[in-house]
Amino acid sequence: MRHFDIIGIVVSTFIAAACSQAPAETMEVTVYKSATCGCCNKWIDHLEANGFAVTAHNVQNLEQIKRENGVSSRLRSCHTARIGNYVIEGHVPAQDIKRLLSEQPDVAGLAVPGMPVGSPGMEGPRSDPYKVYTFDRTGSTTVFARY
């Protein structure tokens, strides 16, 4: 075997080993919720099943968390989450959070107002149509996704 062939094999082996050991990027989410809300726990299960690492905090005053994170009253739901610099309000599907993180628009976060039946964590006998909104600190919203 020639010297260059051996170097090529060594380099290829090194690159393959490095790629296979590269850590996957963990998407860490912090969720603020009521201790008694079952749908919040189901939404957390949905996030974890989609590759998110979730830390949940049961809090007494969710209204304060929502105010501190700029969630207007018309966008509110039962839980508020933080991922990176973004706020996630309510039953936002994991795929939309991943899209938000990929595209990184200049918004404060995403929200699914209320608790629509059929959204992640609110599965049931039917699925009602709902929208995922972006929102900014001024209260402006745009539709990010429709279900």
The tokens describing 4, both together, are 């260059």
More confident residue, 26 or 146: 146
Question: Given 3.30.430.20, 3.90.1300.10, 1.10.760.10, 3.40.30.10, which CATH number is that of 27-146?
Answer: 3.40.30.10
Query: Which ranges of 57-107 does DSSP label H, i.e. alpha helix?
Result: 62-68, 94-103
- What average pLDDT does this structure show over 74-101? 98
What percent of the chain lies above the pLDDT cut of 70?
Answer: 82
For the chain, what are the domain ranges?
A: 27-146
Segment 13-59, tens digit of pLDDT: 333 333 333 334 669 999 999 999 999 999 999 999 999 999 999 99
What percent of the chain lies above the pLDDT cut of 90?
Answer: 80
Average pLDDT in the chain: 87
pLDDT value for 139:
84
Burial class (CB in 10 A: 0-12, 13-18, 19+), 109: buried
Cβ atoms of 72 and 54 within 8 Å: the answer is no
pLDDT value for 15:
36
Segment 61-80, tens digit of pLDDT: 999 999 999 999 999 999 99
Query: Residue 45 is which amino acid?
Result: D
